[in-house]
Structure 1
């Protein structure tokens, strides 16, 4: 009986480890299994109180974007994190158009935007300069 009680926790631990490994691999598109690469998880302490006072992407979506002259130059359509190891965040801005027709989507680095009291500012942006950027199109 003693032998069985010692094996069960070990078997449960092995099952849990296998499940975590499977979930981790699925989260990366299965590439961890295909490449045989070990996965490392780094923990970092976060000040959750300070983080909670930040700006949620869901609340920023649809917000008007202004320049330093307080001209409305577009609307924040979306935020996209680039693939790869850099994980740069881009703001997808909608410029031009009327009632959603003829709008032109462009990508600008999120770090170029300033957010103050829920007001989004691209200081040196103009409608004309944004419309001159290459058009952004969603992959799907």
Structure 2
């Protein structure tokens, strides 16, 4: 009759117990820290949802329609700036020119979006924005 040594099982159990007690294992091999920040959820809920703003007309101070809000993009840089992608010009979706403007340049009041000093010509003069391939 052959006997099986339980020594490797005991060693493995001790190692796992030691690791659990020390709590030094990390996901993906690096320590992770999650910080909590309290958010006023009532105030936040009264904000504007990107999905509801998408497709909205954008006006200037003269109440001229100068474009349409196509999308919002969060920059991959460390500051995580948000940019509004505006569709300018074109007719029925043909020949439209997409441009990116800092979201902080927009004024939003009752779902009316205003880019105060802009004109269609000034927006069309901006470099064209193109979405990165998925």
TM superposition score category, shorter chain reference:
0.7 to 0.9
Alignment partner of 2:118 out of 122, 125, 133: 125
CA deviations on 1:33-90 (whole Å, 9 max, x unpaired) are 4xx5432211100010110000000000000000010000000000000002110000
Q: Does 1:65 align with 2:63?
A: no
Name the residue aligned to 1:97.
90
Report which of the two structures shows the higher radius of gyration computed on alpha carbons: 2
Distance 1:93 1:118, change over 3 A: same
Give the SS at the match of 1:43. coil
What's the TM-score once normalised by structure 2's chain length? 0.78
What's the TM-score once normalised by structure 1's chain length? 0.75
Shift of 1:120: 0.1
Measured in 2, the distance between the counterparts of 1:37 and 1:127 equals 49
Comparing both structures, which one devotes a greater share of its residues to helix?
1
Give the SS at the match of 1:78. strand
Measured in 2, the distance between the counterparts of 1:115 and 1:56 equals 12
Measured in 1, the distance between the counterparts of 2:101 and 2:53 equals 15
Q: Any stretches of 5+ residues in structure 2 without a counterpart?
A: 1-12
